[in-house]
Each structure stands twice: as structure tokens, then as C-alpha cells.
Structure 1
Amino acid sequence: MSTKPNKFIFLADDDADDCMLFEDALREVSTSTELTTANDGVELINLMETNVPPPPDVIFLDLNMPRKNGFECLEQIRKTKKWASIPVVIFSTTGQEEMVKKVHEQGASFFIRKPGSFPKLKQAIQQILDIDWSNHSWKPVAENLNYQY
């Protein structure tokens, strides 16, 4: 059993299948995490308002969601003082360079293109969980684009 403290993870994604796969992968990678999911950006912000503090250790954020998209959520998270330092990982099907650049400029902590296989999804989640966010800095855009599981 891991001696690491529990990590609280938020996932905002409107695709129910993606949420289930993420939850399954997270459970296989770490038993010491608690996942809270939101189906869209409005639900995520509502969760943030009712559940923070304590803040999640990391937020996985899809870009293409109804009602409030990932760009709008990221902007609101970065402008809200009590949430501003929470790591936000953009987790999207798009890997377009201009999108990656835009979320970086908006303050995203990391970008992962949604992987095409379950083992690669587990690998991506594990890598994010292993990051020491206090020492982490954004990786260059080109490196992120090639970093597609």
C-alpha cells in the first residue's frame, strides 16, 4: 500500500466514456487518489466553489465542453485567487499547436493529448501524478505536441 498522502483529482469532461476510462485508469495507477468529475465547465466551477478549500491537487480539463468550455474554465480558475495556484492539465483530443499555445498563455500547467489506448492513458496519468508541481514549469510547445500518448 502506498504511503503517499491522498491526492484529490478533478476531471472536467463532457464525454461519459472518457470519464469512465479515466477513472478506471486512475484506479489502476493509484489507490490513494479521490476523483471528482464534472460533465461540463459550469459544473466544474460549481464544484470548485463548493469544494475548495481544500483545493484539488490537480485538475484535468477538457477543452471542448458545452455551457462553459475549457478555455473559459481555465481563465476563471487563474483569475480566482484561491484557485490560481492549482495545477491545471489540459486533457484534450486536439493537439493543434495554436490551441496548445493559447492554453499555455492562459496559464495551463501541462498539456496532454488524449491517448488512443488504455495503457498509454495510465502512463499519462501516472506521469502527471508524479510531477512535483512546486518545481514544475511548462514544457515548450513543440515538446508537448510530440508528447502524445
Structure 2
Amino acid sequence: MSNKLLNIVLADDDEDDRMLFSEAIEEIAIKTQLTCFKHGQELMEHLNTPNIALPNLIFLDLNMPIKNGMQCLKEIKSNPALRDLCIAIYSTSSSEKDIEETFLNGANIYLNKPNNFVKLQDSVERILQLNWQYHTSNLNKDTFLFRI
């Protein structure tokens, strides 16, 4: 792993979830720079800012006010400047409909929010260690749903 920082973005309206995620990412061995957004509209305004460094990976909550995660996913994947961004859905939902819909709309991985800090830390670290080029070229329903 190089010394280059991984530019990670989290869009989640739950302040406690953002705080736990921030703490988990600080404690893993991979060097990251995390930017958090409270809802999808903030995220999209950031991504559409001219000349910003685009994130290496976006963790996207589905259930957010103003603009939800599914709306963001569709908007990102329909924008030629953003469509190649890697997106991890990060949600409490384990509904097959949500999993299927995010898969069909181009998300790269689906992570159910773990119910404890150690599992969260382990999941985030494992997702950040993925070889995304390889992972996305072999994407299918089995590799899409990230299991702990």
C-alpha cells in the first residue's frame, strides 16, 4: 500500500453513525482522508464542484432526507464525470429490494451497517483493501453483498 491517502466520502444523516464511522476509519492501518456529508444534496453539491479531487470511494446511506442514497447513486452513475466512482451502499436496510435496486443502478458493494464497532472497523478495513479494478470487473450478486 502506498503512502498516498485514500480519499473517502461518507454521506449519512445519522450523526452517531458518522461519528462511529470516523472513529473506525481513524483506527485502521490504511491512511485515509474522510469527508462526511449529512445528506445526499450536500454530497452531490460537493461532487459537482469544479476541480475537486474526486473520492476513491463513497459510502452512501440509502435513507437520508432531502436527497436519498438511491437518488444520489442514480445521479452519480448518469453523470459521465462521476460514473466511474466506486460506491459502497452503507445502510441498515437488508431488504432484497434495496439490495437488488442498488446493484442494478451501479453500486459496487452493499454493506449492512454492522451492529458493533469492531465489526464496523473490520468491514471498513476489508472494503478499503479490496482491489477495486478486480472487484468491479467480476461483480455479481455474490460479491456485491458484503458479509461479515
| TM value normalised by structure 2 | 0.91
Q: 1:140 corresponds to which residue?
A: 141
2:85 match: secondary structure: coil
Letter in 1 for 2:129: D
2:9 match: secondary structure: strand
2:38 equivalent to 1:39: yes
20-29 or 52-61, larger mean C-alpha shift: 52-61
Q: Distance in 2 between matches of 1:80 and 1:143?
A: 22
Q: 1:124 corresponds to which residue?
A: 123
Identity among equivalent positions (%) equals 34
Q: Structure 1 residues 52 and 90 mapped into 2: Cα distance closer, same or farther (>3 Å)?
A: farther
25-34 or 40-49, larger mean C-alpha shift: 25-34
1:136 match: secondary structure: helix
Q: Structure 1 residues 44 and 143 mapped into 2: Cα distance closer, same or farther (>3 Å)?
A: closer
Q: 2:101 corresponds to which residue?
A: 102
Q: 2:83 corresponds to which residue?
A: 84
Deviation at 1:82, TM superposition (A): 1.1
| TM value normalised by structure 1 | 0.91
8 Å contact kept, 1:100–1:141: no
Letter in 2 for 1:144: L
Letter in 2 for 1:105: L
Q: Distance in 1 between matches of 2:40 and 2:88?
A: 14
Q: Structure 1 residues 57 and 134 mapped into 2: Cα distance closer, same or farther (>3 Å)?
A: same
Q: Structure 1 residues 106 and 22 mapped into 2: Cα distance closer, same or farther (>3 Å)?
A: same
8 Å contact kept, 2:56–2:86: yes
Structure 2: runs of 5 or more not aligned: none
